[in-house]
Structure 1
Amino acid sequence: MSVTVRWVLAQPELSLRLRGGASGLDRDIEFAITTELSDPSPWLSGGELLLTTGLGAPSAVDGYRDYLRRLFDAGVAAVGFGVGLTHSEIPEALIAAADETGLPLLEVPLPTPFAAVTKRVMDCLAEQRYDALLRASRAQPRMTRAVVQGGARAIVRELAVATDATVLLFDRRGRLLERHPTNVDGETVTEVSDLIDSVSEAASSIVAQAHSGHSMTVQRIGLGTSLHGCLAVVSPKPLGSVDQVLLGHANSLLALDFEKPVRLRAAQNQLNSQILGLLLSEGIDLEPAREQLAPAADDRGFVRALAGVCPSSGDAEAVASSIASAMNEAGRPLFLRRTEGRMTVLLRGTDDVAFARTLLAGAGESVRRSARIGLSGPLPVERFAEAIDQAQLAASAAGAGAAPLEFSALTGSALLTFDSTRQVLRSVADTMITPLADHDRDHGTELVASLRAFLEANGHWESAANVLGVHRHTLRSRIAKIESLLDCRLDVARVRAELLLAIIASQA
C-alpha cells in the first residue's frame, strides 16, 4: 500500500510546497517517519516520507549532496523539511542537491505539525489496507464459487478482475490453457512462457520484470510432488500483499480443480483392477468388492440397509432419485441398487429413522404415500447382505406411506423371520398372488396394491381408498375382480389373514 508524493502535496490542509526534486513526484510513500539523525539510512527500509527540521543535517554544499544521496540510496520516497525552527527556510544548497538526485524535497510550514503529516499519510494507507482486505474478502468467495461453476477459466477471470492485472494459466508442458483478458498480446505470452522455461521446476514462485517494465509473477500449481502447471500475473507494478494472498488462493483452487480428475481416475483405476481380479479369480473371491463398501460405514465400521418397495418402477425411480440427491447434498458416497419397483441403499450404522425420512423428502407426496420403507439394524459392513435382508423384510411389512419401519420393530411379522414359514407363505403367494400380479402386468391394473391396502385397512373401504387415492366404488370394483380371479370370499377373516401374509412374503 502506498501514496505518491504528488498525492501528499495535493492535501490542502497540510500546506506543503515542493522545493526540489520534481522528477520524483510519482515516487511511492509507504510510511512517514521523523528523524534528526545526520545519517538515518541504516534504520530505513525504503518508501519513507522522512520529516526533519535539519537539526542533524550537514551545512556544507557537499554535505547536503551526500546527505540526500544516502537517503535516496536507502529508498526514501521524499524528504519533508520543516522551516521556522532550526532553519528559517530551506537552504538553497539542499534544494539544488534534491534537483540533482531527483529526490522530492517538500517544505513543511511552521503551522503544520509533523504529526499532522504523518497522520494524514498513515490514515490514507490504513484506508487502502482496509479496502484491499475488503476486496480480498469479496474476491475469495467469488473464486471459490467460480471453481464449482466454471472451473479454471472462471478462476482466471476472477483473479484478473480482483488484481486488475493480466492472468495466464499454463499446463505442465507450457501450453497456454486460459487467459484474461482474452486479447493478451502474443509478446506477453511468449515472455512469460520463456520465463517459466528458464527457471528450474524446483522454484515454486518466480518474479521478474518484463521488457515493458511490467512485473511478472509466476507460481507453479501442484500438490505434493504432482505439478499441474503455472499461474502467471502480469501487472504494472509488483503485487501487493493482498494481491499475493489472492494469487495463492487462486493457486490452491486450481490445484484442487486439477487434482479432481486425477482422484477420479485413480478411483476408477482401482475399481477396474478389482473387477479384473474378480473376473480372473477361479474361486470368485468377493473380498475386493466388499472393500468398496467401506466408505458407506460409520466410524465403527457398521452399516444399515434401507429398502423400499413401490407399486411401480416409476415410483421407485422417483424415490431412488430423491435418495441420490439427498446423499449428494450430505457429501455421502452412494451405494444404491434399483430393480423394477424396489431399491436398496447402504447407510451408516449411526443413521436413524429421521435421517431415512429426509432421504425421501425429494420424492412427490403421492410417491411417498405409496412407498413402503424398511430399515435394518446396524451391522458390521462385512454383514451387509444380512442387513439388506433385514431391510427388505421390514419394507415388506411396512405400511404404505408410513415412517420407515425398523427391523427391530417387526411386531406382528414374527412369522416372516423364519425361513421355513416364509417358504410356505411364498408357496401360497405363488398360487394366490401371482395370478393378480400377472393380471396387473397384462392389463395395467393395480389389483395387488388394492388388495394389500384393503387387507391392511381391515376391510375399511374409505381408509383403503384414501391410501390408494381412488374412490371407494373403484376399490369395490377391484375387490370384486380379485374375488372372481381367486375364487374366494374376502369377508372371511382367515382368508384375509392368509392373503396378507402371502403378499408380505412375496414382496420380502
Structure 2
Amino acid sequence: MAITVRDLIRLPHLRFTVVAGEAGLDNEVSWVHTSDLPEPWKWHGAGELLLTNTVGLPAEEAEQVQFVERLSECDASGLGIGLGLSGPSLLAGARRRADELALPLLTVPLSTPFTAIVRAVADANSREESRQLWRVSRLYELLRTSAAAGSSGQELFRKLGEELGVRLSVVDPATGHSLFGEGECRYAAELAAGYGTHGNTLPAMLTLRPPHAEPGAVAAVAVAMPGEHPTALVVEFTDGQLPSMVLLHHVAVGGALELARLMESQERMRRLGSNTLTRLLDRRIDSHAAQLQLAELGLDLAKCVLIAASAAGDGTAAHRRLAAARVPHALLHRDHTVYFLLPATALDTAVAAEIWPSPGGGTARLGVSDRITSPSRVADAAQEARWALAVASASGQRAANYGDESMTLPPRTPAEARVLVSRILAPLIRHDAGHSTDYVATLQTFLRTDRSWRDAAAELHIHRQTLGYRLRKIEQLTGRGVTRTDHIAQWWLALRARDLLAGQPGDR
C-alpha cells in the first residue's frame, strides 16, 4: 500500500499543516508533482499530490474553487501550498469546497523544500514496488494464458478488468463505439468531447465524468493505447478505487498487442473477401471454390444480398465497423462504388449502425440486390445493386431494394432507361449539345413546378415569353408538347430514366 496523506503529515520534519479536506487524509500518494502552471490538472496523474507555491494560485475565490474541483476530478490525493512567497492566500470558499470533496489541503512552510516531500514519498513507496511488479507479472501471465486458450477481444479485457477490479472497454475515441462490437461506450459523449478538445488526440489519461455529475465526481478515465489508430482504454470504477497508472499503462500496452493481432486477423479476412468478391463478379471462380472461401468468411450465398454504396474512401472504415459488429461480409471497392456482400438479415443492423460514411458527410446512399442464391448470380446481383443505388440517389432515399415499389414503374432496368432517353429526349439532348441551348433543363423545371409558367420562369431566371418560346421549340423538335396527358407522362418517365442513369437526385 502506498503512503497516505495522513502518514505524510505525521512526519515531523515536513511540518505540514492541514487546513481543509481532513476526510481525505487516507488518500494514497503514488507520487508528488510540483507545478506553478495555472492548469496543472492537465498533466496531473491520479493519486498524485500536487505541490505549488502561492504564485501559482488564482486570486479570485471562484477560480480557486474551480482549481480545487479540477484537482479532485483528476483524482489527486491532495494539494500542498508552499508559504512565504508573495502570491494570493487560500480563500475560505476554496477551503469549504475542499472539505466537501474530501481533498486534503496542506500548507508547507518556506523552510521545507519540496524535494524533501518528494524524497519522503519515494522512500515510503519503494516497498510498494515489489507488489506492483507482482501485479504486472500477473497481468502479462493472464495475457499469455488467455491467448493460449483462444480468449481474445471482449473476453480477454473482461478478465483483465476482473483482475484489476474495474470494467474495461476498448473504444474509438472519436465515436465512443467499442472495437469489439459491444456498442456505444457509456461515456461516449464525454470521451468524444475530450478527444476533440485535445485536437483529436488522446492525452495519457483523460478524466470522464457522467452527465450532470457534481464537480469532482469521477466515474471513469480513458487511457491512450499505443498503435497506428487512436484507441482509448476506458476504465470504469467498480469499487471506487482507481488502479495505479503503472498498471493501467501495462494493460494498455498488452491490450494494444492483442488489438494489433485482432486487426491483422480482420485485415486478412478483408483481403480474402475482396479477392473472392472480385473473382465472383468477373466470373473467374468455380462454384465449389467459391463456396469454400465464402464459408471461411461465414457467408452463405443463399441468404446473402449485395449492396452497392456511394461510400467515402475504399470501405476500410466500413469493414472495421462491420467486423466490430460481428457481421460476416466481403467488401470490394471498384469503379467509384463500394460493394458489400452480407447476410440479408444483417442489413438492418448495418444500416442502423451507419456503417457507410457518405463522401459529403452524413450517411451514404445504398442499393440492395435481390437474394443471390448461387455464385453464378453475383454479377447479376451487382447490376441490380447499382440500379437500386441509382434509384436511391435519384429519389433521395437512404436505401433502395431492387424490386421495391419505388422500382415498379418503368424504367425497371438500365436497358429500359437508355431506350426511354434515346426515344424521347435524344432530340433535345442533341440540340442542347450542338446549339448551347438548355431545353432539357427547361422541360425538367416546368414539370417540377407543376407546369406553372410563373414559377418555372422565376426559377430559370427568364421572362414568361422566353419560356413560351422554349416550350414551342421543344414541341417542334420532338412532336410532344406539355398539355396532353400522354405527352406529360412520357416526359416524366424519360426524365426519370435520365436521372437514374446519371445517379442524380430528382424532385419529381
Which interval holds the TM-score relative to the shorter structure?
0.3 to 0.5
- Greater Rg, structure 1 or structure 2? 1
Q: Structure 2-normalised TM-score?
A: 0.37
